[in-house]
Amino acid sequence: MNQQQNERTRIREAMDRLLSRQPTASNGSLTVVALAVEADVHRMALVKRHADLKNEFYERVRTEAKQMPESEKRLRETVSKLKKTLANKEAELQELRRQVTLLTLASAVLTEEQRSASGPVPAPGNVIPFRPSSS
């Protein structure tokens, strides 16, 4: 039996021990790290060379243990936090847009008030009015 077949056998045996809650070398958690420790293989070997067994392990965790794998739980928590952050940012953006509109309107009102208070603005010397001024 070659080394890769030996590793695959150890990984499958480790899966069975973890799913039956009888770990011998790991802390018994249903993670790839615990599976690698339990099978006495490097974690990266499990992830790279034996990705099919990693996926099989997670599928068995879902079906046999009726649990969500830890990595999936963490990802779901992260997605939930990011959705909340996105909603908060969207609300903040809407408020800032509302404030910009109000400030633009206020600026226009103040500019118009200032213009009407100072009287008509004389045309610069190089501008010829279409109609003569009525003053």
- The per-residue pLDDT for range 50-74, each reduced to its tens digit, is 999 999 998 888 888 778 877 788 8
98 falls within a domain: no
How sure is the predictor about 132, in pLDDT bands with cuts at 50, 70 and 90? low
86 falls within a domain: no
Region of residue 120 (left: phi > 0; alpha: psi -120 to 50; beta: else): beta
Among 1-10, 20-29, 54-63, 78-87, name the most confident range.
Answer: 78-87
Q: How far is CA 54 from the centre of its chain?
A: 24
Q: Count the neighbouring beta carbons within 10 Å of the beta carbon of residue 40.
A: 13
d(CA 32, CA 89): 35
82 falls within a domain: no
Range of the domain at 50: 3-67
pTM of the predicted protein model: 0.53
30 falls within a domain: yes
72 falls within a domain: no
Reply yes or no on whether the pLDDT at 79 is more than 90.
Answer: yes
Reply yes or no on whether the pLDDT at 107 is more than 70.
Answer: yes
Among 18-27, 31-40, 79-88, 106-115, name the most confident range.
Answer: 79-88
Q: Name the domain count of the chain.
A: 1
13 falls within a domain: yes
Helix axes 51-64 and 32-39, enclosed angle (nearest 10): 110
22 falls within a domain: yes
- What pLDDT does 1 receive? 57
d(CA 51, CA 45): 9
47 falls within a domain: yes
- Who wins on pLDDT, 118 or 81? 81
